[in-house]
Structure formats: structure tokens, C-alpha cells
Structure 1
């Protein structure tokens, strides 16, 4: 009974394998491969095009895997019937056949019963091009985009034809534009038609892409050469004059390397020659004792040269004669002058536009830094300008605002909601802290600037230590919402982060909000009255003491909001405020004490000057800040009251 069961199982397995083999033989991809069997078996670069075209035209889903396996030498042919399979080792001398249509195993076979298809490099190149073209014409736009990205990362000559072939049927406008641009880039590097290359080069004259410059710069690569006369039919970049564009020593070294002049004898070589020709205490008729001087050594060497023992020494006159008898020049690697001329003009045009955009990028950086300084200084402009209080703890209010934002984010995981909550909460916290500081300390020190400075400096140190005790010394993250990630990219030269744009917008909002408060509200009217003449304001029923408290609280609250904004891109530590206190005071003093518009102009001046100095010395920002301070000191000498001088108590009137 057991014997009959085994026979039945073997028969069933044989039937199953037979059915799979029949399915493999009857599949569309297998039929197509069999129709082109002879060309596949004896594939060459000149005969393979028809097979590739037939496979691509079939639009069968298995085509890509078959082409990839063929290119990678993973396609096999069974000798008995010529069918094609994928295969994987199944034992020492056997392989497991896998159907090229279904990807399912169809049985095992001995190693001697199958042949591995091994296309040469030319055939593999054609197949690789077909695979690229296959991906570039894929119905899925995402797959086509992936193919373009792959070409952009590693362009090859074979990609050019595939790109051109896929352009005709491209329906997606964005992908078509990418394909056209990439086709022009590949045309510059790989096309055999020089007219087409020139046209492609000229089309990039206004393009700021790094890849465009990467394609154009190699066209102007040169090789330095020397010849008796300037060769004809050669694309010469420049002729060189020894002692000018090329040093005299380097020019003669080129002659020696080219075998056009004898090498100079070095001092060490001369010494070895003299030692080798020492006879009876003499060298070339010169006593050994006299060889301590360079002149005598040269005389001895000349004597040996006259005897024909050694080659003659090259003199300065010989060098001059050799240099005059030859031409030194830089030769373009690219042989067509029309191409190098077009590339040179295009790169010159691009350089002009890059320079303009670098100025624009630098201006945006300066504007961004100015908005940060304005936010940091606007609260100080109110307290210092209106009240005349030198508050060295202003930076700590910025730091408190940043930590308020951090605490809120620990309680509210949603970064957008947490920032919306943190901004007013930071204002409230620092407003309360400012009011408390004014009531407890500042109010007792009015008109005593030195004592005020020392007291607020001590408070600054104390606040830093309190924060260290609570949060530690490690920097804390204040994460921006996802919609603030990344940058606004105008081109390959100009870009600005969304966080800095948000800070700029916040600065503009506070500028107009403060102008509204100071010019359109009762509080603003009272603040301006106390600023201009506190005694007259008091006689009109205004309480200067209350106004001073609210003004100090308002300035401190704005510093807290600035802390949240600054913390989005800076490290939130106990020293955060100390990094901005100096710039805040400079901004207020340069702009004009107590004037909102002056603070804005001061922030703009400092931001642009600092970024301009950093542009000249990008590796040393500390030096840039030092130069900026020197500039401000000089500026104050000529305009001690700032850009916009304020009349009133803050100005000392």
C-alpha cells in the first residue's frame, strides 16, 4: 500500500511540474523570448536592438525583471528545449528553475543541462539604457520621477537616448520640464553633434543650478603644454610667458620633463660627481682643499665636462635661450573652440547672476538677523528709552520666555498649539517678573544709573543660577512646528529658513502693535507724556509711578515673546539671554534711545553690517562681531544720540 502511495505522490508531482513547465512555455514573455531566441543566444551590440525594441513594445509587466536579469547575467537557458528561466543554486550540481513570467519554481535541473547567458559589456550597456527608458516611460509618474532622480545622481552617456525617447510621450508638465532640462545637460557632456552641444550650453546662460555649472566647468578644463612652436588646429586657452603667468623655474621644469632641455645639476648631484672623480687629491685639476667654495666646485665640474666625463652644467644663459626657443600654453581638453567659447560666455553670464543672487541672499540674511535683534531689543528700547533704566537683566527675560516655551511643549505635545499658547504665556510670565523687579528693586534706584546697572547685573546672575538649578546646564529643545521646517528656496543660491521668515513676520507685527499702543491708546499717550515731561504729566493727573511699572512690565513681556521666537532656532540654555544683551543695547543706542523707529533702523544697521563682515570672513564670526563693535564705536563718535535722537527725559533734556 505504501509503495502505491509513493508512486501516486511522484505522479502528482510530475504532473504539477509538467503543468508549470507548460505554463512557462505558453507565457507571453516566454513566447516573445523564443521568437527572438537566435538573437538572444548570440547577442551583440549591433544585433540586440530588435530584441530590446520587441520587449519594450510588448508592455509586459515581466519585461523589466527579464532585462535586469539578462544584464546581471542571471538569465539561464535550458538546453533541451531552449526555454529561458531565472535560476538559483539548489545543490552542489543542480539549480532550481524559476519561471520568468510568474516567478514561481518549476523544478530542479542539473548544472550541465542549462546555459548561463553572459552578455558582453556592449550588450549590457544597451540593456541598461533600455531599463532606464523603461522606467522613464512607466505609467506611474512616481516611478518616472525615481528614474529621473537616478539619472541626475549618476548620469551616463547611455541615458541621453533613453531620455529623448521618453520625452515625446511625457504627459506630466513637471516631469517633462525636468526631462528637458536633464536632456540638455546630458547633451552638453555626451552628444556627438557639436551644434547641439553649443545650443544646449547657450540655454543655460541664465541658469543658476549647481548641476549646470557642474556640466559647463569641465568644458573649460585645460592642460599646460610646451612646444617649439604653437601648434595649429589646437584649441588654445592662453599662451604663457615665463616669469609671468608661469614661473621661470616651472617653465624650465616643463622643458626638462618633455625632453626638450637637459636637466639642471643639483648641488647634491654635483657633490657626488666630484667625489666620484677624485684622483690624487685633485678633481678636474682643482685641489680638494679648494672645493669648499661654490665657485671652485663649479670650475672643477666644468673641467670634467670639458673632458666629456660628465654632461655640461646648465647655465642661466642656457635656460634663457631654451625658454625663448619654446612656446608655453594652456590647451583646452575640449577640441572645438565654438563649444569652449559658448561655455565661457555662459559661465560668465551665470557668474554675474550668481553674484547678484549672493547679494540678495546676504541681504535676506541681514534682514533676518535684523528682525531677531529688533525683537530682542524692542523691550529694552521701552525700558531704557522711556525710563532711563539700564537693565542688565533684560537678556534673562528673553531666556525666561524661551524656557516658558519649553515647559509648554512638555505639557502640550502638539508643536503648533504649544507655540500659540507659549507666546501669550511667555508675555504674561515675563510681564509679571518685570513688574515684580520694578516694584522691588528698580523703583528705588531711579536717577541712579550706576546702582541700577549693578543691581540688575546681580539679578541677571541670580536668575541664570536659578534656571540652572531648575533645568540643569544641558540645552533644552524648543521644537518648531512641522510647517516651519525647511527653507524657502528661490534658486540654488538664495534660500531662507521658514523659522527666520516667521521671526521677521513676528517682528513686523510687534512693530505695528507697539506703534498702535504708543500712538492710539491712553496708555501710549500717558507713556509719551511721562517721557516728555514727567512733572507736567503728574500735574495733569497721570501717575508716573504706575506708568513706569507698566512700561517696565511691557518691555519685559515683549522680551519674553522674543525668547520664544529666538529659542526656536537657538539653544535654550541659561546663557541664552547673555548672548543677546550686548546686541540689544547696541541696537537701542545706535537707533536712538527710546524711539521705536530708531530701534528698527539700529537693528537693520547692525544686522546688515554684521552679515557683511561675516561674508568677508565667514570662518570667524567672533572676529565679525568684534569688527562690528568697532564700527559702532566709530559711528557713535559721529552721532552720539543715534540715528533718530529722542527729545525728552531719555535724551537728558
Structure 2
């Protein structure tokens, strides 16, 4: 009975797994390799450590990679940092706890080279992919994305199922697909992975496809068999004959052509007394004589002969020039070409959408800047050259409010109506004091408002200085809405676009659904008849000018969030505002919207065609507008009433 119990106990002991070794014991078992690791021999050591996964392994691998691992004379390993007086601050490799100090001369440092550190980094990535710390998993995925090595595929695939974070799981699956496309074990697996990359606008996905399609130039007597030929090059079409011959020379298939320096060097080397090749030294100043002397040496076989143009052409014609894929599998490269073509089409579409969004954003800025001018210029026929300064006043109003109210969201909400009130009052004052005396005198009005604009600029310089002032957007407007690697638009521009839509709606509501709007339209179409109906044209002109100026102030707050706030900022928008109003149709809100859209789209389109010269874009745009108004002088939406008569 006792024997039976002993046998059963012994069998249980045999069946029990071996007690896991600690990190220190594992390191001492491979002490020499840890201390002096080699690029080809460190792999098994790293594999054993990762498989055992002892406590403290991750921190140890980081320290080993950073050359912070030291071995004491008794064989114990420590992580250590150099201290004063040639001493080391020791850290236990297993617990990470301080382990006192030691004299540096009692320790030997592990100094892995660059190749070994890359191996350690790969092992560390594999270990960190399943780390409970999300930040470490993100860092590991960043490392995988940078290197895209075949060894990273297996640990990456193994970590996907256990990943609880949805975003990280999707990123892991995406990186795994890219790794399969580059390093998959079977052709079919690679083709399927490549097909999933087709149509992607992501830079990394396109980089994977481009790496698969990398080529090298080749030249031979005939096209090589068994090679994955990418393209056959035709000298004279795909490359010059001279470049083709140079490629033959580099490949050792033709003799190098003799240049002027080669001739001089050969003549100096073969000089016999005061003659070379039968030509006297005194005659060698002449290029023809130098060539003659060289030909004499070539005839004797002393130097290589000249290669004539005919011989060069024959040599090029007798060889095949081509590019060959680095990837040997033709099915894989064909799939990559198809996928890359889809991606390039998607990129082209995305670029068009991105350009359209940029144009729409610029159009919304022009619309905001011009809508107030459309009201004053269209309804009253006043050429207000100080309109840009009302925009500037609105921007500075926002700046002053932010100095008082530090909450950027609240300050913007306060600044918008306050900017309207300030510029409305300034517009009313300007109309009462100056404009009302200059109706139907456009030249005097232009000169007067131009003088007012200069005065307002100088006042702003005296009050705020010449330095640009910050008008800071709220934190929730930071960043951009990113659709993909091509399409992105900042949240500030989106906010300006939304504000432009809001003002479009408010302006239409005021003009079409309020008594003020009814009276404005009545004065616009027939001021005499409106006066006979009890409407005061002077009062309507004052309110209209104030309304246009107030809208310009609100536009200044919006533009100030996007552009610099200076005393001259209005000058940057006055020309575009007038062009917008004239092209769209004077006195018409829908015309202003159409004009802003046309000008914004044109400017962005010209900048896209000539991105290095924005001044040229504005010049071309002005020339187009001059031609446009020759054929449609009243603008896109022709005005009616008094403005049409004017």
C-alpha cells in the first residue's frame, strides 16, 4: 500500500511543470552572450527570454538596448546609471528596486552594437504589443510601423485577439495586413493583402505598395530569362543614347568614352622628351593637335581608342535596357500595380475634394468680408474704401475682449455682438458726418473714404502698435477635421464657413422678412416712390450703412481667428471684397455669394496650378475678372432697381 502511494506521488512530481526561472538566473545562464552580444547569435537568447517572460523583462530589454546593463565580478547582472566618483547607481534587474552603489571598476558593461540593439528593439516590441499599458502598446505599434520587418508579423498577429481597445485592434489588423503584403508566406496571401490596400489614400499603405514595386535598372545583350521585368527601356525615347552608353560602361559592357581630361593625362603620361605621338610639346596647346597625338598613341595600342558616335550607337543598339522588380514574384507585382493604380485614383479624387474644400473655405472668408460692402455699395451706391478698416476694427474689438475675458469661448461669444455694435456705431457716425453730404458724387466719396481708411489705420497703430496681435480661438477649434491623409480642413475654417452660412441666412431674413428689409428694398428700387409712401430715405441709408459696417465688424472677428490682426489687415480684403461684389452683381446677396465662390475657387485653382507663386494667382484672377466684366458687366446676378440704373 505504501509503495503504491509513493509511486503515485512520484508520478505527480514528474508530471508537474518545472519551476519558472527568474530573470537573473536566465541572464547568468547566457552570461557571455548578454555581456558581449553578436548580431547573429543574440536571437536565441532573446527568444528564450521572451518565451520565459520573467518579471522585469521589459525594463531589462529597454536598459540593455540603451547600454545600461552591467555585470559584477561575481556574475550578477544589474541595470546601472553612472554616478559621481566613478561609481554606479545599481538597480535590481527583476524588481527594479535600487540596489545600492558599486565601484565602476568592479563591473563590466554590456555594449550591444547597432545591429544587436535593433534585434533587442524588435524583441521589446513583441513583448510590448501585449503590455497592459496602452501607451506602451501604442509605442510598440509605432515601432512596427517604422520598421515593417518580417519578424514583427508573428507577434503582431498573436496580439490582435487579446486586444481590448477597438482602435488599437483595428490598427494592429491594418499593420498586420501590410506586413502580410510585404512578407507573407504564400503568394495568394500576399495578393489578398495587397488587394485590401487598393484604393487606400494612406501614405503608409502606398509606401508598402511602392516598396513592393521598387526596381533596378539593368542592361544585357538580351533580356534575362527568369527575371521579373518591369519595363523595357528604349534608348532615344525612355533615355538618351549617351545615358544608355554610360550604363553600358558602368556594367563593363563597353569602353568608356575619352574626355578632354583623359586626353591630357594620357599625353602627359606618354611624353617622350619634347614629343608625344609625333607631335611636339609646343604644338599641344591646340586641341586638334592634342587629339592627333592621342590618335597616334591609340594606333600604337598605348591608350584606348576614341569611341565614335557611330560606334556608340551600335553598342547601344546591340544591348537590351530594362528595369527589373526587386520582388521576384510577378503575380505579386501585378497585384501591387493594380492596387497602386486604385490608390492613385483615390488620391486624385481626394485631392480634388480637398481643393474644393479649400476653395469653399476661402470663398466663405471672401463672402464674410464682402457681404457688408454688398449692402452699402449695392443699396446706396457708395464706394466705401474704409470697409476694410471696419473689418480691422472688429478684429481689434475681439482682441480687447480677450484681454478682459480670458475664457476664449466666452470672449468670442461676447466679441461677436460687441464688434457689430462698435462698427455699426462707427458706420452710422461715418454716414452722418461724411457720406450723407457726398451722395451721387462717387469720386469725392471714394477720396473721402480712402482718407478715412488711412486715418483709421493710423489710429489703430497709435493704440495697438505695429505688432500683430493674437486673436486666439477656443480650444475646441484647435486641430483639423482629417478625413484621410489627403483631405483635411481646420476647425477654424469650418467655423468661418458655418458663420458665413449663418450670416447669409440672417441677411436674407432681414432683407426679405423684416420691415427694415422691406424699406431698404423700396429705397433701392425707387427712392422717390418710397419717400412718397412715408419712408425716410436718409434714415434708411443711415441704417443700411450701419448694418453693412456692423457685418464687416463681425467678419473681422472671424477673420482675426484665422489671419493676423494688424492695422493693415483690412487692406488685404478690400480688393477681394470689391471684386466679389462686382463679379457677383452689385446689391444682391446671392450675387455676392456667387462672386465669392467664383473668386475663391479661381484663386485656389490657380494656386494649385502654380503653387510657388501666390502673387501670380491673384494677378491671373484680376485679369480674368477684367475679361469677365467685359462680357457680363452687371455680374453673375444682375442688379435691379436704382443700382441697375446706375
TM-score tier, shorter chain, comes to 0.7 to 0.9
Cα distance, 1:260 vs structure 2:
1.7
Query: SS of the residue aligned with 1:531?
Result: helix
Mapped pair 1:583 → 2:580: no
What CA distance in whole angstroms lies between the structure 1 residues aligned with 2:287 and 2:488?
Answer: 64
What stretches of structure 1 of length at least 5 have no aligned partner?
1-27
SS of alignment partner, residue 206 of structure 1: coil
> 2:348 matched to 1:351?
no
How far, CA to CA, are the matches of 2:97 and 2:490 in structure 1?
52
Structure 1 residue 463 displacement after superposition: 0.7
Please report the TM-score for the alignment, with normalisation by the length of structure 1.
Answer: 0.87
The range that moved more, 101-110 or 355-364, is 101-110
1:417: how far off? 0.6
**1:493 Cα deviation after fit:** 0.4
CA distance in 2 between partners of 1:366 and 1:87 (Å) = 58
Aligned partners of 1:45 and 1:122 also within 8 Å: no
Alignment correspondent of 1:202: 195
Matches within 5 A, 1:523-602: 523-602=516-595
Whether the 8 Å contact between 1:478 and 1:572 is mirrored in structure 2 is: yes
What's the offset of the Cα at 1:476?
0.6
In structure 2, the CA distance between the partners of 1:199 and 1:411, relative to structure 1 (3 Å rule), is same
User: Match of 1:5?
Assistant: none
Residue equivalent to 2:6: none
Task: Report if aligned partners of 1:405, 1:422 keep a CA contact under 8 Å in 2.
Answer: yes
1:526 Cα offset (Å): 0.6
| Gapped regions of structure 2 (runs ≥ 5) | 1-18, 35-40
Q: Does 1:183 align with 2:176?
A: yes
Partner of 2:254: 261
CA–CA distance in 1 between the matches of 2:458 and 2:86? 77
Report 1:312-461 matches (<5 A): 312-461=305-454
Report the Cα offset of residue 619 of structure 1. Answer: 1.4
Q: Residue in 1 aligned with 2:510?
A: 517
CA distance in 2, matches of 1:88, 1:33: 18
Q: Would the alpha carbon gap of residues 327 and 381 (structure 1) be closer, same or farther in structure 2, given more than 3 Å must change?
A: same
TM-score relative to the length of structure 2: 0.88
Task: Give SS of 1:242's match.
Answer: coil
Name the counterpart of 1:17: none
**Does the 8 Å contact 1:96/1:109 carry over to 2?**
yes
How far did residue 272 of structure 1 move? 5.6
Contact 2:408 2:473 (C-alpha < 8 Å) held by counterparts:
yes
CA distance in 1, matches of 2:524, 2:291: 90
With over 3 angstroms needed to count, the CA separation of the structure-2 counterparts of 1:238 and 1:425, relative to structure 1, is: same
Is residue 45 of structure 2 the alignment partner of residue 48 of structure 1?
A: yes
**What secondary structure does 2:231 align onto?**
strand
**Aligned residue in 1 for 2:231:** 238
Residues 123 and 461 of structure 1: CA distance in aligned 2, closer, same or farther (over 3 Å): closer
Please state how far the C-alpha of 1:646 moved relative to its aligned partner. 1.1
What is the CA–CA distance in structure 1 between the aligned matches of 2:90 and 2:517, rounded to whole Å?
88
Report if aligned partners of 1:34, 1:83 keep a CA contact under 8 Å in 2.
Answer: no
Task: Write the distance in 2 (CA, Å) between the matches of 1:120 and 1:627.
Answer: 59
- Are 1:52 and 1:127, in contact at CA under 8 Å, matched by a contact in 2? no
Note closer, same or farther for the CA distance 1:113–1:433 as it changes in structure 2 (3 Å cut).
Answer: closer
Of 60, 66, 72 in structure 2, the residue corresponding to residue 66 of structure 1 is 60
Change in 2 beyond 3 A, CA 1:115/1:642: closer
Q: What SS does structure 1 have at the residue aligned with 2:207? A: helix
Provide the C-alpha distance between the structure 2 equivalents of 1:175 and 1:185, rounded to a whole number of angstroms: 15
How many pairs does the alignment contain? Answer: 622
1:609-624 to 2 correspondences below 5 Å: 609-624=602-617
- Please give the secondary structure, in 2, of the residue aligned with 1:226: strand
Q: Secondary structure at the match of 1:496?
A: strand
- Pick the aligned partner of 1:34 from 25, 28, 32: 25
Deviation at 1:570, TM superposition (A): 0.7
Superposed, 1:272-287 pairs within 5 Å as 273=266
Give the drift of 1:214.
1.9
Contact 2:199-2:345 within 8 A present in 1 as well? no
Q: Is it true that 1:166 corresponds to 2:159 in the alignment? A: yes
Note if contact 2:416-2:554 (Cα within 8 Å) is conserved in structure 1: yes
Identify which range, 572-581 or 243-252, moves more after superposition.
243-252
Determine the structure 2 residue equivalent to 1:16: none
Say if 1:153 and 1:237 are closer, same or farther in 2 by CA, change over 3 A: closer
* CA deviations over 1:476-523 (Å, ceiling 9, x no partner): 111111111111111110011111111111111111111111111111
Higher mean C-alpha deviation, range 322-331 or range 477-486: 322-331
For residues 79-105 of structure 1, the C-alpha deviation after alignment (integer angstroms, 9 at most, x for no partner) is: 76x765445678999877643344445
Structure 2 contact 23–94 (Cα < 8 Å) conserved: no
> Which secondary structure state, in structure 2, belongs to the residue aligned with residue 346 of structure 1?
helix
**Per-residue deviation, 1:645:** 0.8
Equivalent-residue separation in structure 2 for 1:141 and 1:652 (angstroms): 71
C-alpha distance in 2 between matches for 1:91 and 1:544: 88
Question: How far did residue 262 of structure 1 move?
Answer: 1.8
Note the C-alpha offset of 1:475: 0.6
3-state DSSP of counterpart to 2:52: helix
Q: Is 1:285–1:303's contact at 8 Å kept on the other side of the alignment?
A: yes
Q: Mean Cα displacement is larger for which, 108-117 or 203-212?
A: 108-117
Are residues 281 and 75 of structure 1, via their aligned partners in 2, closer, same or farther at CA, if it must alter by over 3 Å? closer
| Shift in CA distance, 289/414, structure 1 to aligned 2, threshold 3 Å | closer
Which residue does the alignment assign to 1:651?
644
* 1:480–1:568 contact (8 Å) kept in structure 2: yes
Provide the rounded CA distance (Å) in 1 between the counterparts of 2:452 and 2:481: 40
- Over aligned residue pairs, what C-alpha RMSD do you find? 3.1
- Decide which moves more: 265-274 or 565-574: 265-274
**CA–CA distance in structure 1, aligned partners of residues 284 and 158 of structure 2:** 78
Residues 377/284 of structure 1: CA separation in 2 closer, same or farther (3 Å cut): same
Alpha-carbon separation, structure 2, partners of 1:93 and 1:365: 61
User: Is the 1:48–1:123 Cα contact (8 Å) retained in structure 2?
Assistant: no
Deviation at 1:55? Answer: 3.0
